């Protein structure tokens, strides 16, 4: 059971630019995270509590633990149900979503629980402004959400933990040990005692992925499935439409067209499409990188402006 600072968490096979307003999140110090499991995008803050359960694959069922958590809420007189998508809902509003991953003989299930999260940040973070024209990958399924505090004003992190822990122990037996992940000594204990009850030894790599890997641009953005997006702007007072294709978060191709005859003539005379592709193909779709590219070609105002137009769209 754990909480995170404000962050947007996308699924393993999702597109951060499609799922989130990336510039808004960065401007508001809201981190962007890609998890190792599938599923859709969620917003975390200290008003949201997460639960994670690792169990034998042979006894894994996608509904079992969601039902356990729902029953824990029902014990607090908060009437919830589990829907067909394994979400926990109340009055048709979603309060908890789940994601899953199976590794070898083990199954991993984790879920969110909106206790008193900031729904304004949630809404604005999960509303992309990028005009994506074509994309691979998994899309999130939009849902109406609400906080449990609407139904129990005094519910908090500890109350939720206590209720779920009680139901968990009633079903599976008393905890053998309680680990505090705030303590490095407890984390060391886990790494030294990785044998499970069935005799397997869990590889360290399945418990901890190095933080520098999970926080890297290559993991968060570079794992993005291929997609294309469009943006528009003016070059020498003539409207231009840019279509940018990407491969693993890097620009792979740029095409430009203008709705006017003058615009098409201008593109030809400036050789803008070829110059733009020469400058940006293979470059990370990263605002700071494009800003540096735009400054580097200051001697060609049209080219610099074109790069700036693309930069502003990401």
Largest separation between any pair of C-alpha atoms in the chain:
76
Q: Convert the pLDDT of each residue in 111-142 to its tens digit.
A: 999 999 999 999 999 999 999 999 999 999 99
Pairing of strands 51-56, 31-34: unpaired
Alpha helices in the chain, H assignment, sequence order: 16-19, 22-27, 64-75, 119-125, 157-172, 184-192, 204-207, 211-214, 217-220, 261-270, 272-280, 287-296, 301-312
d(C-alpha 51, C-alpha 161), whole Å: 9
Please state, in angstroms and rounded to a whole number, the distance separating the CA atoms of residues 45 and 9: 11
Q: Is domain 227-312 given the CATH code 3.40.640.10 in the classification?
A: no
Helix (H, G, I), strand (E, B) or coil at 95: strand
Give the residues across from 54 on adjacent strands.
108
In contact, 57 and 104? CB cutoff 8 Å: yes
**pLDDT tens-digit profile of 264-307?**
888 888 899 999 999 999 999 999 999 999 999 999 999 999 99
pLDDT tens by residue, 24-64: 999 999 999 999 888 899 999 999 999 998 888 888 888 88
Average pLDDT, the chain: 90
SS3 of residue 166 by DSSP: helix
Domain 7-210 coded CATH 3.30.930.10: yes
Spell out the domain ranges in the chain.
7-210, 227-312
For 265, residues 6+ apart whose C-beta sits below 8 A from its C-beta are: none
How does pLDDT run across 142-182, given as a tens digit for each residue?
999 999 999 999 999 999 999 999 999 999 888 877 777 66
pLDDT of residue 246: 98
Closest CA to 106 of 192, 197, 170, 190: 197
| 307 within 8 A of 240, measured Cβ to Cβ | no
């Amino acid at each position: 059971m754990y909480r995170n600072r404000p962050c947007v968490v996308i699924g393993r096979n999702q597109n951060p630019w499609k799922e989130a307003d990336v510039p808004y999140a960065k401007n508001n110090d809201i981190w962007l995270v890609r998890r190792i499991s599938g599923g859709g995008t969620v917003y975390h803050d200290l008003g949201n509590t997460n639960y994670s359960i690792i169990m034998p694959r042979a006894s894994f069922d996608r509904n079992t633990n969601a039902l356990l958590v729902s029953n824990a809420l029902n014990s607090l007189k908060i009437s919830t149900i589990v829907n067909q998508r394994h979400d926990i809902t109340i009055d048709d509003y979603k309060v908890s979503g789940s994601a899953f991953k199976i590794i070898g003989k083990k199954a991993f299930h984790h879920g969110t629980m909106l206790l008193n999260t900031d729904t304004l940040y949630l809404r604005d973070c999960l509303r992309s402004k990028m005009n994506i024209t074509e994309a691979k990958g998994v899309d999130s399924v939009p849902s109406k959400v609400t906080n449990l505090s609407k139904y129990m004003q005094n519910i908090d992190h500890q109350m939720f933990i206590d209720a779920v822990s009680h139901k968990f122990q009633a079903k599976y037996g008393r905890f053998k040990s309680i680990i505090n992940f705030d303590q490095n000594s407890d984390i060391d204990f886990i790494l030294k005692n990785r044998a499970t009850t069935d005799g397997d030894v869990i590889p360290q790599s399945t418990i901890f992925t190095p933080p520098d890997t999970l926080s890297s641009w290559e993991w968060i953005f570079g794992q993005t499935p291929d997609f294309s997006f469009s943006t528009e702007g003016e070059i020498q007072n003539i409207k231009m439409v840019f279509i940018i294709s990407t491969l693993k978060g890097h620009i792979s191709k740029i095409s430009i067209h203008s709705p006017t005859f003058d615009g098409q003539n201008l593109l030809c005379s400036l050789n803008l499409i070829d110059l733009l592709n020469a400058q940006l193909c293979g470059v990370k779709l990263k605002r700071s990188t494009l800003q540096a590219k735009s400054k580097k070609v200051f001697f060609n105002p049209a080219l610099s402006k074109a790069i700036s137009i693309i930069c502003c769209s990401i």
